[in-house]
Amino acid sequence: MEKKQPSSNDFIVIKATEDGVNVIGLTRGTDTRFHHSEKLDQGEVMIAQFTEHTSAIKIRGNATIMTPYGELTSEKK
């Protein structure tokens, strides 16, 4: 099967609505583990893509997330 190429639809936008929001990238492949953690303070924005190395993105903390499927918010428990 052909390798999936990253496309512009793979981008998501994360805007932190509090200090200390974590954006965590998880690896693609048989081994699913954290490979990168980025801390955002209130108002900071991260534009991230699903890539050959990143199959999932976990967001901890209060943030607004814009995806090709819609906009949602993450919340603290």
Going by the DSSP 8-state scheme, the letter that residue 8 receives in this structure is G
Longest pairwise C-alpha distance within the chain:
42
Closest by alpha carbon to 67, among 47, 53, 52, 51?
47
7-66: contacts with ligand TRP (CB under 6 A): 23, 25, 36, 38, 48-49, 51, 53-54, 57
Minimum CB separation of residue 26 from ligand TRP in Å reads 8
CB of 35 to ligand TRP, least distance (A): 7
Interface ranges with ligand TRP (CB under 6 A): 23, 25, 36, 38, 48-49, 51, 53-54, 57
